[in-house]
Structure 1
Amino acid sequence: MQKLQFEASWDRTISNGDREKIKKAFDETCLAENKEMITPLWQALNYKNDLLITVLVHNFSNHPLFFLERKIAYVEDQKVMAEYLFTIPALKVEPLTSMPWTFIFPAKNISEQASYKQGFLVFNE
Structure 2
Amino acid sequence: MVDGEGTKGLQESSKLSQLQPIPPRKIIQDFPLADEVDVGHNDGWWDGRISGSLGDDIRVVNFKGSWEQLVYSQEELRRHHKWDYDSEIKELERVTAAETVSGNKGDFQFKPGTLVEGTSGLD
TM-score bucket of the superposed structures, by smaller chain: under 0.3
Higher relative contact order (CA 8 A, sep 6+): 1
Bigger Rg over Cα? 2
Higher relative strand content: 1
Question: Whose helix proportion is higher, 1 or 2?
Answer: 1
Under a length normalisation based on structure 1, what TM-score does the superposition of the two structures give? 0.24
